[in-house]
Chain A
Amino acid sequence: MSLDRTDVDKIAHLARLQIEEQDAPEYAQNLSNILDLVDQMQAVDTTDVLPMAHPLDAVQRLRSDNVTEDNQRELLQSVAPAVENGLFLVPKVIE
């Protein structure tokens, strides 16, 4: 299976990655290699194998419903580039 330039652009857009024009063929090649590996795995007969959701053979442990976190806004916002009135500020996302 081989990916072309359009596929690479689409994947990059979905992942919000900016890629350089000259790097695109290499990405296409590398991603195609990964898909080839997947194709190879698909060829294995898995008729009697149950699908699994997680590689660990364990089940989720649950937490009791209690509030255990205090307000740490000041600390947590100290690493934010822009903050105002307690809100995180980001570049405007709609016009």
Chain B
Amino acid sequence: MEWEAVIGLEIHAQLATKSKIFSGASTAFGAEPNTQACAVDLALPGTLPVFNEEALRMAVKFGLAVDAEIGRKSVFDRKNYFYPDLPKGYQTSQLFHPIVGIGHIDITLEDGTTKRIGVTRAHLEEDAGKSLHDEFPGMTGIDLNRAGTPLLEIVSEPDMRSAEEAVAYVRKIHSLVTSLGICDGNMSEGSFRCDCNVSVRPKGQEEYGTRTETKNINSFRFIEKAIVGEIERQIDLIEDGGRVVQATRLYDADKNETRSMRSKEEANDYRYFPCPDLLPIVIDEDYIDAIRQTLPELPDARKARFIEEYKLSEYDAMVLSADHNMAAYFEVIAKTANDAKLAANWVMGELSKLLNQHDLDITNSPVNAEQLGGLLLRIKDDTISGKIAKQVFEVMWSEGGNADEIIESKGLKQVTDSGAIEQIVDEVIANNTPQVEQYVNAEPDKRGKMIGFFMGQVMKASQGKANPGQVQGVLKQKLDALVS
């Protein structure tokens, strides 16, 4: 039987506010346990929440970016459950009147096609603390620094049909929230995490199959693997005569499989009701319009501009525009070197390669845009070849410095002196008699290809420093002189 997967996603994006959603405690990552948990975060008796205006502004920005209905009146509700990292016994969230209503985004797939994915809603809520289960025998350690950090939970429609579509959607939302500056997008620190709802059904069937939810996946790669694995598991289960049980599952990255989680939601009855401690949030058109004016350039617009302004290919423009830091980096280089194609190749090639190897983000790149731009300038003015430039780049990466200093100190300047080049060419011709004979005796139309061997020898003899264009000319002239 042919099966079809149905995928819907819930993304939790931590909003990049300085203080918490309902208290004045800091949200900075990595502090000593419980040093950023104040009386409100600890739910001590008599404390009351006061809502952070920046969290509201950020949520509205997101709503505008996904072309959504903005809730003119939104209301906080209490989601009741018991867990030690949630001191109040309820999470303050929004169920009935979320700040962001129905919207949509367009995703681009690898084959170049685009697909519209519905955003059901996005609502504000508070994050819980962290539980450490392994450090103390018989006890659980609780760190409440994260408790009360503002979250925007972004819920999609079940519009995705493959892991590829799901990952493209998550990447697009990631690109949006980071471009908007409302989330730092750091997945390894948990600032951006994803719950995947997956079900399967026979192709052509209207109604959905039973779904499972895999929670808190924090890398693009794991999202893809977890979904692929869960789809296979469900199909195998049904084909073997079993049936899918609605459950919350946990993704185990080490084993690359999902497993059923002993859930705090066994009773799954949150008894939502409007939070009496918080009044409704009311905003008007002026407020929304003012925020609309402050929206930065969004990834789709940036991609279109890159194609228009820099004449980049669709693919290059998509890769370079998705991350706003990467985009800014690229633009500096493209302008410094005055060559967008060269800049694009370097950012997507050498730079991305080293960043990936060292597991670094572009914002942590040891080589900044000015340095790389300066290097490309030296390729453009023929001071060095592209190949030598890679050597310079590696030195720049590990030792720092600008291109001119490195070229100078390592003696990498390209040899353009025609006397020097002729001398090397003569040596190569003299030392490779058999190949020269082959060349002379070959059909004229085969010679073009054979010249490559001599090119290689000359470049090697010059340690890569001879100007390739000049070498080619001198070689051809000298070899062809031997033919007649």
The digit string for B68-100, where 1 denotes a CB below 8 A from any CB of A, is 000001010000101110000000000001000
Residues of B within 8 A of A54 (CB): 75, 274, 276, 279-280
- Interface residue count on the B side (C-beta < 8 Å): 54
Q: Which residue of B lies closest to A60 (CB)?
A: B279
Interface residue? B328 (CB, 8 A) = no
Docked pose: A63 CA to B282 CA in angstroms:
14
**In residues 26-67 of chain B, which contact A (Cβ within 8 Å)?**
26, 32-39, 42, 44, 50-56
Interface residue? B17 (CB, 8 A) = yes
**In residues 227-284 of chain B, which contact A (Cβ within 8 Å)?**
262, 267, 269, 271, 274, 276, 278-282
Q: Which residue of A lies closest to B41 (CB)?
A: A69
Interface residue? B18 (CB, 8 A) = yes
Docked pose: A80 CA to B278 CA in angstroms:
28
**In residues 34-92 of chain A, which contact B (Cβ within 8 Å)?**
53-54, 56, 58-69, 71-73, 76-77, 82, 84-92
Docked pose: A90 CA to B97 CA in angstroms:
35
Interface of B (DSSP majority class): loop
Q: Which residue of A lies closest to B274 (CB)?
A: A53
**In residues 147-161 of chain B, which contact A (Cβ within 8 Å)?**
none
Q: Which residue of B lies closest to A65 (CB)?
A: B54
Contact of A90 with B139 at beta-carbon distance under 8 Å, contacts A16-B82, A65-B17 already known: yes
Docked pose: A94 CA to B261 CA in angstroms:
10
| B282 adjacent to A65 (CB under 8 Å) | no
Residues of A within 8 A of B38 (CB): 69, 72, 76
Interface residue? A93 (CB, 8 A) = yes
Residues of A within 8 A of B142 (CB): 87-90
Q: Chain B nearest CB: distance from A9 CB in Å?
A: 11
| B139 adjacent to A92 (CB under 8 Å) | yes
In this complex, the member of B35, B51, B141, B278 whose beta carbon has the largest number of chain A beta carbons within 10 angstroms is B141
Q: Which residue of A lies closest to B17 (CB)?
A: A65
Residues of B within 8 A of A77 (CB): 34
Docked pose: A68 CA to B20 CA in angstroms:
10
| B25 adjacent to A67 (CB under 8 Å) | yes
Docked pose: A86 CA to B35 CA in angstroms:
8
Docked pose: A53 CA to B23 CA in angstroms:
22
- Interface residue count on the A side (C-beta < 8 Å): 37
Q: Chain B nearest CB: distance from A83 CB in Å?
A: 9
Docked pose: A87 CA to B147 CA in angstroms:
13
Interface of A (DSSP majority class): loop
Residues of B within 8 A of A93 (CB): 83-84, 131, 133, 140
Docked pose: A32 CA to B51 CA in angstroms:
37
Q: Which residue of A lies closest to B283 (CB)?
A: A59
Docked pose: A63 CA to B135 CA in angstroms:
37
Docked pose: A84 CA to B132 CA in angstroms:
12
Q: Chain B nearest CB: distance from A76 CB in Å?
A: 6
| B267 adjacent to A13 (CB under 8 Å) | yes
Docked pose: A66 CA to B133 CA in angstroms:
33
Docked pose: A87 CA to B36 CA in angstroms:
12
Residues of A within 8 A of B73 (CB): 53
| B141 adjacent to A53 (CB under 8 Å) | no
Interface residue? B190 (CB, 8 A) = no
Q: Name B's A-contacting residues (CB within 8 A).
A: 17-19, 23-26, 32-39, 42, 44, 50-56, 73, 75, 80, 82-84, 97, 131-133, 135-136, 138-144, 262, 267, 269, 271, 274, 276, 278-282
For this complex, 18 residue pairs linking A to B, each with C-beta atoms less than 8 Å apart, are A14-B267, A14-B269, A54-B75, A56-B279, A60-B51, A60-B278, A60-B282, A66-B19, A76-B37, A84-B141, A86-B34, A87-B135, A88-B141, A89-B136, A90-B140, A91-B139, A92-B138, A93-B131
